Structure 1
């Protein structure tokens, strides 16, 4: 069914493998495997892991169905705690920005990308999905220019404006900590988000509150 997988990333919760072939998919796929937590009781660990795998796959499916560009899910193996999904051909938004940081991104037309990101986040929040780890590493650009949101390992469902505001704040902090001089870029993303999400007003109010709490934490240390 598959060739020998190559581990391309390992995080706190899962390992990500690349398979050169998978079933009838010639391009291969990405396999994301959640590993066991030895500090938990085995039965509890199986239950929690199965729940997280199912939740991630469900969030990916719902976002894709809503018109958001996310990796297609090919197979969910609960016993192996593994999701087999589309291998995206392209580059991360983080890599694109880092490669052009030296010239203040002057060679890039970032406005269309910002609009696509804002629109994608609006679609995601409009169906009450919280990503949980929005960073420029978790956004990829396909060769056709489409923005793909990846890694829904911490995603969950919520209609709370506070949760959606925190989602946006995490992305804002990712920009400010990793990519200098991108304040206008993030402002453009928010403008697109507001444009495409009619219920964004309470979220923007909460975002200001979240920012204030973040500044207070920074000052206190």
Structure 2
């Protein structure tokens, strides 16, 4: 039996480093929520597991880099997927390069991140939890590519509202995690607008969602 090494634990599950058929892999295990009715919990967990796998598969068909899914165990709500070792979490990559004052690399990478999210939305995939902790950075020969991960809250939707909210979630997380980096988020939007088919409508919706968010903050 392969040994398990805990990599991380979030609200939805645990991530272990292990092997699958001799290959290094990550085992993503969703755990039960005691506060939910057992039947409802099982249905919801299974639905999210299925949707995550579908989103990962669809991403690859759209040319978006994601971990390959090796095996899905619906009985234990577990996904075995490719372990992309030669990557860095985008959050750490930004922090490191901001500290060095290397903005050009970050501007190019953030443009690429926005471009990739535009491809996601062209395929009507709403990530649901866009943060700089859910994007990996992979170095190529002459550039950096991004790898999209953690589609546990993803949905399929063609609605402009859902796409605008997806960007708003990223913007809030981005500016909260990386203060004084509005210029970098602007690069993300530029990359998004370069490829997203409904970019004008989505950016307009993003502005509307921002206003709603500010009003809620003011009301408390």
Q: Which runs of 5+ in 1 are unaligned?
A: none
Q: Which runs of 5+ in 2 are unaligned?
A: none
Instruction: Give how far 1:107 is off.
Output: 6.0
Cα distance in structure 2, aligned partners of 1:175 and 1:12: 19
Contact 1:101 1:179 in 2 (8 A): no
Contact 1:91 1:141 in 2 (8 A): yes
Q: Give the superposed CA RMSD.
A: 1.5
Cα distance in structure 1, aligned partners of 2:164 and 2:78: 30
Tell me the TM-score normalised to structure 1 length.
0.92
Match of 2:64 in 1: 68
93, 112, 119: which one aligns with 2:115: 119
Match of 1:202 in 2: 201
Match of 1:128 in 2: 124
Instruction: Give how far 1:47 is off.
Output: 2.1
1:185 and 2:184 matched = yes
Kindly tell me the number of residue pairs found equivalent between the two proteins.
216
Superimposed CA distance per residue, residues 51-76 of structure 1 (whole angstroms, 9 cap, x where no aligned partner) = 11111111111111111111111111
Cα distance in structure 2, aligned partners of 1:155 and 1:67: 18
Match of 1:102 in 2: 99
Contact 2:97 2:106 in 1 (8 A): no
Match of 2:30 in 1: 34
Match of 1:84 in 2: 80
Tell me the TM-score normalised to structure 2 length.
0.92
Bigger CA drift: 56-65 or 93-102? 93-102
Question: What secondary structure, in the 3-state scheme, does the structure 2 residue paired with 1:177 have?
Answer: helix
Cα distance in structure 2, aligned partners of 1:96 and 1:17: 22
1:50 and 2:49 matched = no
Match of 1:176 in 2: 175
Superimposed CA distance per residue, residues 88-140 of structure 1 (whole angstroms, 9 cap, x where no aligned partner) = 2211110012223334x336512321221111101100111100110011111
